[in-house]
Chain A
Amino acid sequence: MTSPFLVLPLRRPQQGLSADLAGPLAAFVLVMLVFSLATPRFLSSATFGSVAFQLPELGLLTLAMLLPILTGGLNLAITFTANIAGLTVAWVLHRNGGVDAGPAAFALGVVLALAAGAASGLVMGLVIAFSRAHPILVTLAMMIFLRGLGEFLTRGGDISGFPAFIRPFGHGSVLGVPVPLVVFLACAGLWHLLLSRTRLGFNIYMIGSNIAAARYSGVDTRKVIVLVYTLSGLMCSVAGIIMLARFNSVRVGHGEAYLLITVLACFLGGVDPFGGFGRAIPVVVALVVLQLLSSGLNLLGASQHLATAVWGMLLVAVMILRWLAGQAVARIERRRRR
């Protein structure tokens, strides 16, 4: 029975393959142009080095945020899940000799960290899928739980003292490409394949647009929701391990400021904030733009706080531009159709 009050969330249809890529690419070109003209030091290997090393942390967390958003949800626990994963590695290393721990201990830590992140996501996914509680509330509860747990275990301090061989995972390069960037690009590629070619990816979009209609079409909506949050938690673990290697320490609260930036990055990458539409590649381009913007402003001598303000302004500008573009497209479509 359709109620006359039922307002169907009819969204902008997916237009072509590259329409959602146009915005982020245009922003990329614009940022490159403006900063190269503003300062000659912008087009240097130093800039790109700093971008290449800073991008992966935010990038991996954004990938963790992307899947829940596509289903019409959110995962507010991403940063603390990453912290807990980092803590797991640190705990295993310390139990096995701290600075003298061997690669086997590290490998075990990584496996347990991935398991911890996946477990955090699994619990959230199960609660959301079966109780139909709102993802914001469920993930908020998990976020608070993980923060409390982490602060209790670390007493609010830093955990450090890791073996030296871990350092390359945060600072090393393979064939000139920073290791964290390699990890991030591999994960982004995996997400792209997942979303564009697999059953899970297909069903994520269907659920994001209309979960009831997807269920009526035979989609196992609970399984998809559980998998989405589990994968999100798993990706948080990867981010947490990279952060541990980058800072050579773990502190609960590390990367907390990234939480809302990941939502911003998804939105800049053309992801529909209500779910159902959005791809991995444009989100990666949007991340690059954000990082270039902050590095460029840094070069110009602006403070990090100003960079954050500029990110906010960018979001508003993108919303206005997108609305104007939507108007223009609608006008062209009307003309074409009649």
Chain B
Amino acid sequence: MATAVPGAAAAPRPLLSLSDVSVTFGGVQALKGVSFEVMPGEVHCLAGENGSGKSTLIKVITGVYRPDGVARITFDGVVYDHMTPVAAQAAGIRVIWQDLALFPEMTVAENIAFQEVVGARPRLVDHRAMRETARRVLARLGTSLDLDLPLRDYSIARRQIVAIARALVGEAKIIFMDEPTASLTQAETRHLLDIVRTLSREGIAVVFVSHRLAEVIEVSDRITVLRDGRLVGVYPAKEMTPSRITELMTGRTFDTNVRARSRAGAPAVLTVEGLTRRGEFENVSLEVRRGETLGITGLLGAGRTELALTLFGMRRPHAGTIRLDGEPVRFASNRDAIRAGIAYLSEDRLALGLIQPQSIADNLVVASLDRIIRGGLISRRRKEELVSRWISELGIRIGRPEDAVSTLSGGNQQRVAIAKWLATDPRLLILDAPTVGVDVGARAGIFDIVARLAEEGLAIILISDELPEVYYNADRVLHLARGRIVGEYDPRSITLPELEAAVYA
């Protein structure tokens, strides 16, 4: 086990420290002898794949879980033998979970200050005092919002600020943020990081739990890496690179060679000319060849998903033509598109990509029922064959095919979603943000599958706002901005920083 390196922000006494913490759930160790330390005002990053013990550690610190044996938590000079949620709250420990846990129908002021009026004894709600508290806290963050608007009228970025403001009510000393940048655009992320710096200057420590590694390095003083419930090490952020953190998190090295190769000689599978949907995208022309992976990138709101949904027949174009293998096509619905050989993996796996409560087996066959129906009835044998074929072909790790999809990890869920579309025997596979909510290690596995499918001749459109993904995995990269294609790049003749400069300019 690596030893702790003194951090850049090394102060005489840590704000929070706990050492040799183990947590066991029914015989399995979720944490094994982990030590953790945060300095006052430090911005600290807790990195690790899903299941590495990040959440368990936060729950030990906030008193939700009790560690095995005697594990003392020292916070702000006080030693706690048994931390409890109430004691943690009183001591100034705050957690902002990824789902934010806010009340969409209540106003901004109510969301920020409701804890002040929720007490043991019933009393009247003092709206004036609540608004005053909310206004004061938001001013500290250098922000002002309309206090009387219901929260649902605000974007996710604004809601996050409300969640931070709520955490600051009372005497906050440390704030844990769980995946705070997952659904933010670059500009919104920069604003959030400014707020984090403000908090840090005020002496409030911030612990980030984040997948987006570039941002982690930019904002953190130190990085603690966990893997399989063990501490890998604590590192000064300045000395780290994203690929180094990935290696530490997964214990593997990833080859990050550009996979691009020319497919200029192969026949075109999809040819789009002048495709337009007013207000969404305009005059889009592109071509995807057999065995080619076309990357499409651009910021949120650039029209990526709208373009994909139009190719998938779920939206009608106002102008332009779509040709498949040279034949013009017109889709009345996505059923026509599926029949014609187009598959679309949704960016929103939880709500649209998979039917989460239903079984793995049913999710695998839902788009290809035609293939297992004989004489009007679903053939159980054919269904089992189809399911077991795709589970083994894509290396999906599952308990039983009857288990709900929601029981699988993000990476395995995405494999199920890909398998569902491969079962329809497509010519063109559109992957819209295929690694959202998928661990770093599992992402590589997804892209290995994509590379293999392309090798077998499938035409693939890879949509992602994570530039490294399209840079390393696509043969060509199109840049979509405000609904127009503004650039085409060959990863073999451009560096990643050059591509980033072009797209973020």
Task: Please list the residues of chain A having a beta carbon within 8 angstroms of any beta carbon in chain B.
Answer: 1-6, 8-16, 193, 197-199, 202, 205-206, 209-210, 212-220, 276-277, 334-335, 337-338
Contact = CB atoms under 8 A, between A and B. Distances in A.
Nearest to A1: B348
A167 B255 CA distance: 81
Nearest to A196: B378
B369 A213 contact: no
Contacts of B366: 202, 206, 214, 217-219
Interface string B420-441: 1000100000000000000000
B93 to A, nearest CB: 22
A220 B313 CA distance: 13
Interface of B: 25-28, 98-100, 102, 104, 152, 156, 159, 183, 314, 333-335, 338, 344, 346-348, 350-359, 362, 366-367, 369, 373, 376-378, 402-404, 406-407, 420, 424
A288 to B, nearest CB: 27
Given A4-B99, A213-B354, A216-B352, A199 B369 contact: yes
A216 B346 contact: yes
Contact of A216 (B159, B353, B404): B353
B335 A198 contact: no
A206 B348 contact: no
18 contacts: A2-B351, A4-B100, A5-B152, A10-B356, A13-B359, A13-B402, A13-B403, A13-B404, A16-B402, A197-B378, A199-B378, A205-B358, A213-B351, A216-B353, A218-B335, A276-B357, A334-B26, A335-B27
Contact of A197 (B344, B377, B406): B377
Contacts of B347: 1
B348 A217 contact: no
Contacts of A198: 376-378
A289 to B, nearest CB: 26
Contacts of A212: 351-352
B357 A9 contact: yes
Contacts of B28: 337-338
B181 to A, nearest CB: 13
Nearest to A11: B357
A217 B367 contact: yes
Contacts of A216: 314, 334, 344, 346, 352-353
A338 B404 CA distance: 19
Contacts of B335: 218, 220
Contact of B159 (A4, A213, A217): A4
Contacts of A4: 98-100, 102, 156, 159, 183
Contacts of B420: 217
Nearest to B26: A338
A115 B9 CA distance: 79
B166 to A, nearest CB: 14
Nearest to A215: B334
Contacts of B354: 213
Nearest to A205: B358
Nearest to B101: A4
A10 B354 CA distance: 12
A210 B403 contact: no
